[in-house]
Amino acid sequence: MAYCCTRSKAPSAGRLSSSRPAISSSAGRRRSIRRGEFVVDLGRKELYTRISEIDRLWNAVLGAAYRPYPHRVGSLFGGRILELSGRDRGPLRGMPPQLLCAGGIDLIRGWIDGAIRRPDSYERFWHQRVGRRFSHALAQGYWEKFRGQPWHALPVPEALAGGEQRVSHGFAAVVQSLQLAARGGVSRQHSWRHPALGTGQLTDRLAARVREGGGEIWLNAELIALERSDGGRLLATIRRKGANLTCRAEAVISSLTPESLDALMRPNAPDIVTRHKRAVMLVYLFLNAPPRFPHAWLEVNDPAFRAGRISNYAGFNGDMVPPGHSALCVDYFLNGDDPLLRSNNDPAWIAQALAECSANDLIDPDRLIDAMAIRLDRCNAAASWREEQDSARTDLYDRLTAYPGLFHVHRPGADWASFAGLCAAKAILTQDRKDFDRRADPGRSY
């Protein structure tokens, strides 16, 4: 974790003081990792352009280092890479004849089943709409791993459950439907860009501006307590280099999860049980051979493999990978009760990633020159704004509003979280948080 304290005067007796001090805390997951000649992200990262203010900010900070890339995504299924877009290999997405024939038969069966009975689960809904085999080949396996829930245990999509069963027939309709199933809606973003040296290049440049403005950034520090003092100020206790420091601030901007923040402010309260305790294991493979596929990442829909996603950093049109080399990140999405989480044996994880990539002819294991594994506990890679709308989260947000100087900016998506941070900064400068509460409401989609 990284915590940033900004101040205008020197600290006294371990306490930061100024006319209007502020503290920012961050989980630090949008950063780059240097490994020899390579630079990699912490897993797969996308930068959306949904919010104009954030898009302008990223352009201003990165300039020419903010490079366009094809945003080509594939589905790994049955030892083949299928396309999730018809842009590169046509409307059939590279499907072999056997899969097309079997999928077509399943598609007709699904339509007949949909005409006879209403779906009783997320799985049956999509099997009726696009067929079982097409669902498996293009969406189901990956999204069950990513979300940590089988489709048969999920309810029918609410937005489509109101009797809307008529669909256009044809393979294009099948693919479009699966895009809706996977992503909750077809993306309107037509141009994608990525920092040339990974997403950490963006945070590094922003950090440089903080330092130029007189701020301090403390790395490897832990926020261990947060409370309100007399007069309405906030007292933040930070453990750094083995010592505890107390920062008195008029404002705190935090990107910690609401559960973590609530636990800091109510240390004696009972633990909040979240619906799904998730973790991610990232296995990086570095090879002295060019990548065997051009995609930025692959979604692993094949249920025979434990991996959920494979990112290819050479596919982002940057300078993250030396010419003639490859850097892959194999993501394993784990639930809190997964027995695999009991293993902290990095070599075993690396061996598994090597075996799965080799079995799909994605790499030549003899060309491996380096590898590493990183485990992210309490990390839900599939977090979305919909999860912020349940009653438990609403109660959390109500408690957080009892601290007028506390600005909680944890949001799913880098652009959404960055926008909340900008709104928080504006509220601190203007001493009016009404605009923040309205525009950065965590219970809605931007």
- Is residue 440 within 8 A of residue 397, CB to CB? The reply is no
With cut-offs at 50, 70 and 90, classify the pLDDT of residue 25. low
Helix (H) or strand (E) segment spanning residue 60: helix 52-62
Per-residue pLDDT tens over the stretch 225-265: 888 876 667 888 899 988 998 888 888 999 888 888 888 88
Give the pLDDT score at 330. Answer: 97
pLDDT at 301 over 80: yes
Map residue 53 onto helix, strand or coil: helix
For 63-107, the DSSP string reads: GGGEEEE---EEEEETTEEEESSHHHHTTTTT--HHHHHHHHHHH
**Which residues in 106-120 are b (16+ Cβ under 10 Å) and which e?**
bbeebbeebeeeebe
Q: Decide which of 195 and 402 is more confident.
A: 195
- Is residue 198 within 8 A of residue 39, CB to CB? The reply is yes
Give the pLDDT score at 442. Answer: 82
Q: Which of 1-10, 109-118, 145-154, 282-291 shows the highest mean pLDDT?
A: 282-291
For 423-445, the DSSP string reads: HHHHHHHHT--HHHHHHT-TTS-
Give the pLDDT score at 276. Answer: 54
pLDDT at 188 over 60: yes
Mean pLDDT, range 406-430, rounded to an integer: 90
Contact partners, residue 68, CB within 8 Å, separation at least 6: 191, 192, 193, 317
pLDDT at 139 over 50: yes
